Amino acid sequence: MAGGEKMTSIGSDPLPEPYIYRSIVGVLQYVTSTRPEISYAKTFKKILRYLKGTLDYGLTLTKPSHLNITGFADADWTSGPDDRRSISGFCIYLGDNLISWGSRKQRTVSRSSTEA
């Protein structure tokens, strides 16, 4: 998916039918637990278009040829346009199988990319 989308909560209007929004968010919470490539996406319309074209994608677990544990982590410095807080993420592999991943907005504003 394309990255670099900056979303802001300032100046947005309330939704006319919030129950539809809540329903879509509930479905997306389920889908992101089995489709890690969309775990970090923020725009619903883009996610729904992406999902429509990738219905055959998903996590597959295979018998590993080796049991090495590999981890990756990254942070984007001051990415939030509203609060300037960084978002950090990680993924853990057992062999070739992705077994854990996550992302979180940091609690404080980082003063440098190293601190993020």
Per-residue 3-state assignment (H helix, E strand, C coil) for 21-83: HHHHHHHHHHHHHHCHHHCCCCCHHHHHHHHHHCCCCCCCCCCCCCCCEEEEEEEECCCCCCC
Q: Is residue 7 part of a domain?
A: no
Read off the DSSP letter of residue 112: S
User: What was the pLDDT predicted at 69?
Assistant: 94
Q: Is 6 within a domain?
A: no
Distance in angstroms (rounded) separating the CA atoms of residues 45 and 10? 19
Residue 29 tokens, joined: 């919470």
In a shared domain, residues 31 and 83: no
pLDDT of residue 91: 92
| Domain assignment present for 5 | no
69 plus 111 within the same structural domain: yes
Residues 69 and 115 placed together within one structural domain of the fold: yes
- Domain co-membership, 74 together with 116: yes
What is the number of domains present in the chain? 2
Whether residue 43 is contained in a domain is answered as yes
Q: What is the pLDDT of residue 1?
A: 44
Predicted local confidence at residue 72, as pLDDT: 95
Percent of the chain clearing pLDDT 70 (strictly above): 73
Check if the beta carbon of residue 84 is closer than 8 Å to that of residue 108.
no
Residues 105, 72 share a domain = yes
pLDDT digits (tens, 9 = 90+) for 51-99: 888 888 877 788 888 889 999 998 877 666 677 778 888 999 998 888 8
Q: Which domain holds residue 113?
A: 60-116
Do residues 64 and 105 both lie within one domain? yes
